[in-house]
Structures are given as C-alpha cells and as structure tokens.
Amino acid sequence: MKMFGKTTKLLVATAMLAGLSTASLAKDKVYKWKLATTWGPTLSPFIDAPKNMARLVKEMSNGRLIIRVDASNKHKAAFGILDMVKGGQYDMGHSASYYWKGKDINLLPFTSMPFGMTAPEQYAWFYYGEGMDLMQKAYSKHKVLSFPGGNTGNQMGGWFRKEITSVDDLKGLKMRIPGFAGEIMAKLGLTVTNIAPGELYTSLERGTIDALEWVGPGMDIKMGFHKVAPYYYTGWHEPASELQFLVNKKKFNKLPADLQQILKTAIRVSAYDMYIQNYQMSAKAWSKMVKEYPNIKIKTFPKSVMTAMKKANKDLLVEKTQGKPLLKEILDSQAAFQKKAREWTKMSDYLYLKDNL
C-alpha cells in the first residue's frame, strides 16, 4: 500500500508538472507569422490596416503573436496573395477579394458590387446578416478564412482623358477597372484590364490605358492621374469596397483560443480604422482640390450612360450566375439585405442629408 501510495503520488506529481509545463509552454510560446499585401510600402491607408492590425496583435498578446507585414515590393506578387496564403508561404494576406474573379468568381462580391450597398449597409450584412457565413463558405475550398479588412466608402468613377457625353464615347477605350464593374464596362464596349497599384500612373501616362478608376480623392491625388486624365467622374461602381484579411485556416486553428480572439479583434478594429482614415483623407483632399488643381473637371456620367450601365449590370447578374449556385446565393443575399436596409437609409441618412446640404 505504501509503495502504491508513493507511486500514485509520484504519478500525480509528474502529471501536474507535465500539465504545468504544457500550460506554461503554451503561454510563453511565441508565434511568428508573415502577412503579404497587394499594397506598396507607403500606400496609405491600405497598408496601414495590416500594419495597425499587427501592432495591436503584438501589444494585446504581450508579444506572443508577431506578424511581419510584407508590402508588394518585398514578395513581388501583388495579385498572388490568395495563392500564397492558401499555399502556406504566408500565414496571412491583405488584399481585395474581387482581384480573384478570374480564379474563383464566388469571391468577387465580398469587395463591392456596382449599384450595391453603402459601407454601413454592407458592414451590417457582414456582421449581422449572412455576409460572414457566406464569405467563409466561399473561401473554404481555398482553406482560407476571410475577414472584412477596411472599407473605402463610396469610390469615384475614375479619370478620363476626354469628356464622356454618350455610350459611344466609351466604346473602344482601354480602362483599368476591376470587379463586376469591369464586366459592365466590357459589355459597353471598353477593353478592360486590371493593373497593380504601383503601375497605374505609368500605364495611364504611356497610353497603355486611356482611363482608370482607383479609389477617391484622398488616394487618387497623390498618384497624379489628374496630370494626364483631368476628367474626374463621380461613382457608381464601388459604393463600399471592402478589403479582406485572409488567414491560412490550418495556421489559425493551431493558435491558442486567446490569440485567435486577439487576432479577430485586431482585424475588426484596424478595418474600421481604415474606413474612417480614408474618409478623413478624402475629405481633406477634396476640400483643397478645387483650389489647388483647377484643371480637374468634376463630372457625373450622363443619364444615357448610367442607364446603359444599369441595364448591363442587370443582364450580367443573370448571365454570370447561370450554373453558379453559390454566386447566386451570395448575390441574392446581398440584394435582399440591401433592399431592406436601403429603406432605413432613405428614412435616416438620405432625408437628413437632403434637407441639410
């Protein structure tokens, strides 16, 4: 009995030690991750979202999760983010979902849809509607988790060399415009392409393209597009472009629960922060644009062009969802949410602004 008692005690002590050391090991273990972005090292506010996220994670985890942010000049694959996170070369990514429409069209709607939801409507869809579940469903075949990563708000319609007075003026133009809007422009007779952010100005200046859309005054002015293409059109195509944080699912599942929660919290905070940072940048740039850049001509597409865009959008929504049940499910969910939310937007923000401009 005595021996048995001793052995038992020893076993218990060993188990306790083992348990303690496992717990303390888990507590002290430092996870070192890498994140790849589509953005260049100084492209504010896009690059600030992953940088803020990494800083918050480091501080909140007391240094247990360290995330290195690699800008596009480091990995040289601005549009390879999904592949690199999927393949495990990077643990995380920061980019825009619609850049992979050629690879997987189901991922397209999570950035923004032409004539779609505004930023508050879309955030409500993501976090209190079906958005997050549908996004994980669409990304699951890539073994990647996806989270909203910062919103641009309503984007400007782009920079053109010449005034657009009719649909005929658009025909034959070469334009950089990604996402579903690119499909619409192609249907209207433009040659559509996507170009990495770092090559936009050169492409426009050299005439590789005739027109482009980027984001809004806060980000556009610094790029210098107005020097080449002074007609600046108001938006219709990206009312609420959301960037995405991607996380390799296997790597995420290996994190202890507290670090998973810290990561998700930092992602959500930095996404919101990018939204308001971009709003501030655009408000500031807009207020001085008229004075400092008198050559810029602010325009809205004529009614005939808007009508043609809306018709093309409607037709394409039918065409593109043929035989694609998941894409249809996502777009239907967005449309249903937008319909309900828009009634409230009209009663609240719209009527308030209409009477107070």
Taking the C-alpha atoms of residue 310 and residue 167, their distance in angstroms, rounded to an integer, is 12
* In the complex, least distance from residue 46 CB atom to Ca ion, rounded to whole angstroms: 11
Select 48 or 238, whichever has its Cβ closest to Ca ion.
Answer: 238
Q: Are 247 and 147 in contact (CB under 8 A)?
A: yes
Q: Which of residues 194-213 bind Ca ion (CB under 5 A)?
A: 213
Residue identified by tokens 């995405």 is: 244
* In the complex, least distance from residue 96 CB atom to Ca ion, rounded to whole angstroms: 8
State whether residue 73 is helix, strand or coil: helix
Instruction: Count the residues of the shown chain that bind Ca ion, applying the rule CB under 5 A.
Output: 3
* In the complex, least distance from residue 93 CB atom to Ca ion, rounded to whole angstroms: 18
Select 129 or 153, whichever has its Cβ closest to Ca ion.
Answer: 153
Tokens for 115, please give them.
């004539």
* In the complex, least distance from residue 293 CB atom to Ca ion, rounded to whole angstroms: 20
Question: Which stretches of 160-232 are DSSP H helices?
Answer: 167-170, 179-187, 200-205, 217-223
Select 155 or 338, whichever has its Cβ closest to Ca ion.
Answer: 155
* In the complex, least distance from residue 219 CB atom to Ca ion, rounded to whole angstroms: 9
In terms of Cβ atoms closer than 10 Å to its own Cβ (0-12, 13-18, 19+), residue 13 is: exposed
Select 129 or 178, whichever has its Cβ closest to Ca ion.
Answer: 178
Q: Which of residues 113-172 bind Ca ion (CB under 5 A)?
A: 155
Taking the C-alpha atoms of residue 6 and residue 331, their distance in angstroms, rounded to an integer, is 67
The site string for Ca ion over 221-260 (x = CB under 5 A, - otherwise) reads: -----------------x----------------------
Question: What is the phi/psi pair of residue 215, to 5°?
Answer: -135, -80
How far, in Å, are 110, 123, 148, 192, 331 from residue 117 at the CA level? 11, 9, 15, 23, 11
Select 40 or 256, whichever has its Cβ closest to Ca ion.
Answer: 40
Select 129 or 157, whichever has its Cβ closest to Ca ion.
Answer: 157
* In the complex, least distance from residue 278 CB atom to Ca ion, rounded to whole angstroms: 12
Query: Which residues contact Ca ion (rule: CB under 5 A)?
Result: 155, 213, 238
